[in-house]
Structures are given as structure tokens and as C-alpha cells.
């Protein structure tokens, strides 16, 4: 996906021009995937741009780092302030923020001991993440299984394991689909290459648990709260591939993808975006733009 450049990137404590935010080719993270990251969106509100669930994202960044035994050289408050300042300096109305902590240059070999930890924050304007987001996306079950929690800590939003997502995404695109669904090694539905999954069957919304290798999505949590407030029942349960085929409605959610309806899975039609998906999308929009006061605590105004 093409990238729209902004003016600045925050790198190791200082704001630098976008094109100067560079690393050495012998950076440990580049060779071995030793890094953790976050994606956060800022939405336009009546009081200027506001970051959605900034604290939850920062907390997950630190949790992910802990799982990889990386000690970040900056505290949560510092990264929080740096993020707000960057979005302000880049002058966005709305944007996507990417925070990254990676192991840098200084040691070679898999053993990460002694490699310096670098932290960067970038922001850019990013529209729809998935092709076909409005009409509903067409999914394909990947031949690649999701990273297994016994192989890598799947609850960490770590860079290396995203090779699994990239392979699944490429395979789906090559086959003419918009996005890939990955199953766990046990054959349960896990998640898509960059989104969590929700399925409606009758009056109940189902979403897979993290034990199926899915990331504990912050948007998944937001959608659960919105759906519950709409009077729907949400259950975190293992789903079979056939549960997707039998869905009354299905949608994906993630920071980049927001709430995206699913039109078909493996060429089994689910149909046009359904009524519950529509309600949740509307509720999500009202929450993230500050129009619905009940969710104002999810927003951090850039100021």
C-alpha cells in the first residue's frame, strides 16, 4: 500500500525530518524480527484530532516488549507525550500512528543480548486499509496456519511473527481474494492477517479467544463494548471454519481496518453488509469522533 509522507518522525527522543529516520542494515530487528509495535488511529472531532485508546495501545506496547524481554529506554508518559506532539507537529486532521521498538545495530547473531533498543513513532494519513471495504471483503482461508502460542508469544504485537500474516495475505491476493483468514494449528478460526473476526449467528456475536492465537485486539474490545451497549450478546468462543460459512453476518476489526464487513468466505456468500454490522459501524464512528459522549474516555485530544 502506497505511503503518504508526513513531515516528521520521532526517533529515539528527537523529532527528525521524515526521510532522515533511518537505521543501519545490520540492525538486529531487521535480521531476526526482534521488535514490537503498535498502530493507533487519530480521528477528527469537533475539538480537533483525538487518538483512540492511546493508553491501551501504550500498555500493550510495554506488555509486548516485556514478553520479548526488551526494556524500552523511554517511559509510558514520555511516549505518550511524544506521540501527541508528533501528531500536532505533522498537522494531521486524522492519521495513523505507528510506534515501533526494535533492536538495533551493535551485535550480530540471534542472541539479542547487548543489542540497543530503539524507539520510533511515525504518523501519516491512511484511508481504507482493505480493498473492497464498503461492499464487503472477500476472504479466503489460508493454507498457512496462524502462529501458534507455543511457538511465539502471539499476545505480543511483535514484528517477526508478521511474516505469517504477510505470507497469508500474499496467498489470498494471488488467488484473487481481498484478505486471508488463518486457522490455529487445532483448526479453530484465529484471525485475519491484520484484523480480529466477529461473526453474528442469530442474536449472538462470536469472536475467537486469544488462545486461538489471535491478538487481543483493542478494536475487538471496543466493538465488544459497543455491541454490549447496543443490547447484543458477545461471546468469546472458538469457531470452526464452518461457523464462518454459516454466519448470518460477519465483519473484521482492527485499528487500520476499523469495522469492515465480510461479503464471502471461500466463495460461500454471506451477503451485503448486514444490519448489525451497520449498527456497529455507526456506533464506532460516533464513538471515535466524539459524537457519542459515553465513549469520550477512549479519546485523547491532540490539542
Residues labelled catalytic? 157
213 binds ligand PPE (CB under 6 A): no
The pattern of x and - marking residues 92 through 131 that bind ligand PPE according to CB under 6 A reads ----------------------------------------
Q: Is there a contact between 42 and 51 (Cβ–Cβ < 8 Å)?
A: yes
Q: Compare residues 119 and 215 and give the one whose CB is closer to ligand PPE.
A: 215
Q: Is 135 strand, coil or helix?
A: coil
Kindly tell me which residue out of 178, 195, 243, 249 binds ligand PPE, with binding defined by CB under 6 A: 195
Q: What residues between 219 and 278 interact with ligand PPE by CB under 6 A?
A: 219-220, 254-257
Sign of the Cα torsion 69, 38, 5, 18 reads: negative
For the chain, state the CA radius of gyration: 19
The burial of 94, by beta-carbon neighbours within 10 Å (0-12 exposed, 13-18 middle, 19 or more buried), is given as middle
Backbone dihedral angles phi then psi of residue 116, each to the nearest 5 degrees: -70, 150
Place of cell 444490519: 275
Q: Compare residues 115 and 254 and give the one whose CB is closer to ligand PPE.
A: 254
Least CB distance from residue 82 to ligand PPE, whole Å? 18
Query: Of 16-24, 115-123, 188-196, 265-273, which part binds ligand PPE (CB under 6 A)?
Result: 188-196
Q: Compare residues 64 and 115 and give the one whose CB is closer to ligand PPE.
A: 64
Q: What is the DSSP letter of 293?
A: G
Q: What angle do CA 63, 166, 171 make, to 5 degrees?
A: 145
Least CB distance from residue 159 to ligand PPE, whole Å? 10
Q: What angle do CA 170, 2, 104 make, to 5 degrees?
A: 80
Q: Compare residues 184 and 219 and give the one whose CB is closer to ligand PPE.
A: 219
How distant is the alpha carbon of residue 181 from its chain centre?
15
Pairwise CA distance, residues 184 & 116, whole Å: 34
Q: Compare residues 26 and 163 and give the one whose CB is closer to ligand PPE.
A: 163
The pattern of x and - marking residues 20 through 59 that bind ligand PPE according to CB under 6 A reads -------------------x--------------------
Q: Which residues bind ligand PPE (CB under 6 A)?
A: 39, 165, 191, 194-196, 215, 217-220, 254-257
Amino acid at each position: 500500500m502506497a505511503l503518504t509522507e508526513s513531515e516528521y518522525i520521532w526517533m529515539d527522543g528527537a523529532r527528525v525530518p521524515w526521510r532522515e529516520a533511518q537505521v543501519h542494515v545490520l540492525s538486529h530487528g531487521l535480521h531476526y524480527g526482534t521488535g514490537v509495535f503498535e498502530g493507533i488511529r487519530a480521528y477528527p472531532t469537533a475539538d480537533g484530532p483525538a487518538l483512540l485508546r492511546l493508553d491501551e495501545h501504550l500498555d500493550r506496547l510495554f506488555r509486548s516488549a516485556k514478553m520479548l524481554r526488551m526494556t524500552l529506554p523511554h517511559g509510558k508518559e514520555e511516549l505518550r507525550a511524544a506521540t501527541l506532539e508528533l501528531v500536532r507537529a505533522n498537522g494531521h486532521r486524522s492519521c495513523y500512528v505507528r510506534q515501533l521498538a526494535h533492536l538495533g545495530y551493535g551485535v550480530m547473531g540471534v542472541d539479542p543480548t547487548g543489542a540497543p533498543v530503539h524507539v520510533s513513532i511515525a504518523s501519516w494519513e491512511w484511508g481504507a486499509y482493505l480493498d473492497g471495504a464498503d461492499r464487503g471483503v472477500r476472504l479466503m482461508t489460508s493454507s498457512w496456519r496462524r502462529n501458534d502460542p507455543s511457538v511465539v508469544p502471539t499476545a505480543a504485537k511483535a514484528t517477526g511473527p508478521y511474516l505469517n500474516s504477510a505470507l497469508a495475505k500474499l496467498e489470498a491476493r494471488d488467488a484473487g481474494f481481498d484478505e486471508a483468514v488463518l486457522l490455529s494449528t487445532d483448526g479453530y478460526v484465529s484471525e485475519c492477517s491484520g484484523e480480529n473476526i466477529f461473526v453474528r449467528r442469530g442474536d449472538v456475536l462470536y469472536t475467537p479467544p486469544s488462545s486461538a492465537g489471535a491478538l487481543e485486539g483493542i478494536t475487538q474490545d471496543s466493538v465488544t463494548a459497543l455491541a454490549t451497549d447496543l443490547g447484543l450478546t458477545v461471546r468469546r468462543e472458538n469457531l470452526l471454519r464452518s461457523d464462518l460459512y454459516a454466519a448470518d453476518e460477519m465483519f473484521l476489526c482492527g485499528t487500520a481496518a476499523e469495522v469492515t464487513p465480510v461479503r464471502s468466505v471461500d466463495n460461500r456468500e454471506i451477503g451485503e453488509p448486514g444490519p448489525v454490522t451497520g449498527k456497529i459501524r455507526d456506533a464506532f464512528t460516533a464513538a471515535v469522533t466524539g459524537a457519542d459522549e459515553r465513549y469520550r474516555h477512549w479519546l485523547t485530544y491532540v490539542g
